[in-house]
Chains A and B, each alone.
Chain A
Amino acid sequence: MLPEYGHFALILALLLATGLSTLPLYGVLSGHGGFQRSATALTWGMTFFLATAFTILVVCFLVDDFSVRIVVENSNSQLPWFYKFSATWGNHEGSMLMWVLMLGGWATAVSLFSGSLSQELKSAVLAVMGMISLAFLLFLLVTSNPFDRLLPIPPGDGGDLNPLLQDFGLIVHPPTLYMGYVGFSVAFAFAIAALITGRFDAGWSRWARPWTNMAWAFLTLGIALGSWWAYYELGWGGWWFWDPVENASFMPWLIGTALIHSQAVSEKRNLFKSWTLLLAILAFSFSLLGTFLVRSGVLTSVHAFATDPERGLFILVILLVTIGSSLLLYALRAGQIRLAGEYRLVSRESFLLFNNIILVVIAFMVLLGTLFPLVFDAFNWRKLSVGAPYFNAMFNFFMVFLLSLLGVGQVLRWKRHPLSDLRPLFKVGIPVALVMGLVLPPLITASFNWRVWLGLALVFWLLAGLVRMLLDRTRNASQPWRALRRAGGSFWGMWLAHLGVAVSVVGVVLVSNYDLARDFRMAPGDTVSMGDYQFRFDGMNIVDGPNYQSDQGVITVLRNDQPIAELHPEKRFYTVQRNTMTEAGIDAGLFRDLYASLAEPLDDEHQTWAVRLQVKPFVRWIWLGSILMAAGGVLALFDRRYRKASGGRS
């Protein structure tokens, strides 16, 4: 019976979403207060039934209800309970349900924490979110019902979860990423609501900003988690592949990054307003595009669970209707926005504009490389793929400009900044950056590499700017510490996020240029050396897991003849799906990871193996930097003026 209740809850949610997308909007257009106020209750009702449906689906997975099709296809009675739990979203239907649930969650949050936001704007925002929910609920019920049954005779056991997905990463990565994706719907809804109601004052930006920051922080973490997961679970130590699915999450991130910066200008200076609206529309459009790319099966990837053209078409229609109607609305209304204020070439406004241009160009560069094969295929011309070198070359090229400008841009004042004031930064910062970039690499390894030099110089240039920001804050203060404390959440959020950029760049530059990776043929007792490390292969064990059997290697790593780590790479054989999976053995460290993976046995007794050994310097810094960026985004929410604004109602 339980799955029927879930299905029923989904239908009720659909009805409430229909109400939410029409009634409050009618209230806004006719000025009827009662209809406007219905938005809150409808949002709560919709979210309640979405949560009910999702909970029921989770229960179906946990109790092994093999009458439900997706439970049969993605779970098994032997699967540990936490993987049964995460298997709920390890499939197309369940993950789309989670998508809509999160949309409901964000809408509910808006209804709760919107404080002194006018009823009119609030109703319009919730109505727009209701429309998106409606579209995706229809999608769920029509093409991807998670509660489809296999009746009257359900199978005795399930086909198990894809072993790649049986991992801690799958428990946390999709929810975090989705929170980010879906979170941009709030900024989008605010933009559409502003266009409908014609209210573009600075208050609008102040309202939308914390939501965008929050979504952006989630997306940052989600992407970092995905990268980390790929690093240790796909087994071969890569952390970014420019895979279309990674790109699908990276494009909204790039646009979202541009958006949080342009929102700053809109709020503080009442400028760039139409551009900010456009970016808000773009950011969510890219989120939808990402959902389409990942979920429609047009791409070849781990994430393409099913290839069903009907689903792809449905999401494509949602995508086109959303983008088309919002851009049309934008074209009709954006002309009414009045701009006020001026700024000079050397000013924070200009440099944020450069930031925006570069980020948007990068996003479209990624978009081109991602969609190009699809366009070719759609016209039946040729099958092709765009290689990673394209993305690497382009991304690095633009990042050099972005980081160079960031170093100075972050210290600039609004309106105009006297050039003479920047002289010390240039005089000290540039030489320091160039020298440090030159001095540091030899401390890590012996070889010189101009890319590392350039990358580290940019990092130190960025740090010089960060130091300068602190000096500016404390220069005229009698109590420097107090001045720093009073600088506020916005300042520290930005400072921390930019520090995160520096940290990530260090990781990317060093691991890309100085990592060591070699494949060896190893029998027990063999020792090979790589860099400063010796790897000794001690032998193989057989290990039994809950739903797999594993050949586990023991590799001792020595440095100066002292053992410093023991690696346990595994080759797992999953008995239900009859799949083999490589589990890497990793010794993680702040300055280097030691990484071993078993490729394949080279003899019949499974004693001699092809082994890939890797030393990856500073690889953790990539994710550490991402965490700092996300923390910066969240810290900015604690700025005094947001607290004052949301407490305004009482």
Chain B
Amino acid sequence: MNPKRKQRLILILLGTSGVAVAVLLVLFALGQNMNFFYSPSDIAQGDAPLDRDIRAGGMVKDGSVQRDSDSLRVSFVVTDFVSEVQVNYEGILPDLFREGDGVVAIGRLMENGQVEASEVLAKHDETYMPPEVTDALERAESASIY
């Protein structure tokens, strides 16, 4: 093989093996970081895993928001009007977080059936509703009819 071809071969091998490694890493990282959405009914039925972050969403139940008196711990109940799940969170809630409105909490489901949230997302304008929440409510409603 002449040196020119050899160099080109090295280049191609480097390129393809690099891309192959990259693709594997990307897929691995993607698998680790997929956060599936679970409605309160899903959680009540035990569908949600305990060992990874999940997204839990529904409506904030009226009168359920409880603030700790001397820290920023807060807890509230998320409902799809069939089942409920309690969410605990430490920190600052988004501006448009309100009782009776849609919310999505990202965090871990604990053994006691409560969600320890690391992030709470609410809508960002008056008329908007997270599509996942709409979907969860519809599923809960149709499940309760049958």
Q: What is the interface of chain A, defined by CB distance below 8 A to chain B?
A: 162, 164, 235-236, 300-302, 307, 342, 344-345, 350, 353-354, 357, 361, 365, 368-369, 372, 382-387, 389-390, 393-394, 397-398, 519, 521, 577-582, 597, 599-600, 602, 610, 612
CA distance A361 to B30 in the complex (A): 14
Q: Report whether B72 and A610 are in contact in the complex, using a CB–CB cutoff of 8 Å.
A: yes
Chain A neighbourhood of B26, CB < 8 A: 365, 368, 394
Most interface-central of B11, B70, B72, B106 (chain A CB within 10 A): B72
Tally of A-B residue pairs with Cβ under 8 A?
A: 101
- Judged by a CB distance under 8 angstroms, whether B63 is at the interface is no
Chain A neighbourhood of B61, CB < 8 A: none
Query: SS class of chain B's interface: helix, strand, loop or mixed?
Result: mixed
Q: Report whether A580 and B11 are in contact in the complex, using a CB–CB cutoff of 8 Å.
A: no
CA distance A307 to B125 in the complex (A): 13
Q: Which of B78-86, B109-117, B126-134 contacts A (4 or more CB under 8 A)?
A: B126-134
CA distance A40 to B37 in the complex (A): 53
Query: SS class of chain A's interface: helix, strand, loop or mixed?
Result: mixed
- Tell me which residues from 27 to 50 in chain B have a Cβ below 8 Å from any Cβ of chain A: 29-30, 32-37
Q: Report whether B15 and A582 are in contact in the complex, using a CB–CB cutoff of 8 Å.
A: no
B122 to chain A, nearest CB (A): 11
- Judged by a CB distance under 8 angstroms, whether B108 is at the interface is no
Q: Report whether A600 and B93 are in contact in the complex, using a CB–CB cutoff of 8 Å.
A: yes
B13 to chain A, nearest CB (A): 11
Q: Report whether A521 and B72 are in contact in the complex, using a CB–CB cutoff of 8 Å.
A: yes
Q: Report whether B93 and A384 are in contact in the complex, using a CB–CB cutoff of 8 Å.
A: no
Q: Report whether B37 and A384 are in contact in the complex, using a CB–CB cutoff of 8 Å.
A: yes
A385-B35 contact given A164-B124, A361-B22, A579-B125, CB 8 Å threshold: yes
Which of B91, B124, B126 contacts A302 (CB under 8 A)? B124
Which of B10, B22, B95 contacts A345 (CB under 8 A)? B10
Q: Report whether A384 and B125 are in contact in the complex, using a CB–CB cutoff of 8 Å.
A: no
Chain B neighbourhood of A612, CB < 8 A: 91-92
Chain A neighbourhood of B90, CB < 8 A: 519
Which 9 residue pairs across A and B have the least CB separation, nearest first? A390-B33, A383-B37, A599-B92, A387-B33, A384-B36, A345-B7, A519-B72, A383-B132, A390-B29
Which of A307, A394, A582, A597 contacts B25 (CB under 8 A)? A394
Q: Report whether B53 and A387 are in contact in the complex, using a CB–CB cutoff of 8 Å.
A: yes
Chain B residue with minimal CB distance to A342? B4
Q: Report whether A599 and B35 are in contact in the complex, using a CB–CB cutoff of 8 Å.
A: no
B45 to chain A, nearest CB (A): 15
- 8 more A-B residue pairs beyond the given contacts A385-B34, A389-B33, A612-B91, with a C-beta to C-beta distance below 8 A: A164-B124, A236-B92, A345-B11, A354-B15, A387-B53, A578-B126, A602-B67, A610-B72
CA distance A411 to B108 in the complex (A): 49
CA distance A580 to B123 in the complex (A): 12
Which of B35, B70, B131 contacts A521 (CB under 8 A)? B70
Chain A neighbourhood of B53, CB < 8 A: 387
